[in-house]
Structure 1
Amino acid sequence: MDENIQIETRGDFGLWAIEVASQIVNEQGFELARAARDGTEDDIRGAGNALGQAITTALMEVYDGLLQE
């Protein structure tokens, strides 16, 4: 998510969404699973919040890109 990409079609958007979802699940989903297995309720809450924030950030990046067009 650090590089700019050009989304010109619905298919481009779909590919971008799949890639971003994969990155988020790989990074934040693992932390949430680890917290659920080994952590406290605060650890789980923190990992869940981080997952939600990663999703929100990705969606806001797309929205901001749409406004620039």
Structure 2
Amino acid sequence: MREVLRSTNPADIAFATALLAGEGIPAFEMDVHMSVLDGSLGILPRRIMVADRDWFIAASVLADNNLGERP
């Protein structure tokens, strides 16, 4: 698996997950429950991971929607 997005903004994470689902790319959100460690301040970023074979397309989809960097 490869990281396609890292963000502390929950709206960006939800938008990116919806974009990837719309393209048929399965994504897995990591570090969801890390807020327990930071006291729910939201200072620890969440990551969206995709399979290695889907990374290029996923990164391109997110970059087209101003999320993440162009591969």
Q: TM-score range by the shorter chain?
A: 0.3 to 0.5
Given the two structures, how large is their TM-score scaled by the length of structure 2? 0.32
TM-score where L is the length of structure 1 = 0.33
More strand by share: 2
Relative to total residues, which structure has the larger helix share, 1 or 2? 1
Query: Which structure ranks higher in relative contact order (CA pairs < 8 Å, sequence separation ≥ 6)?
Result: 2
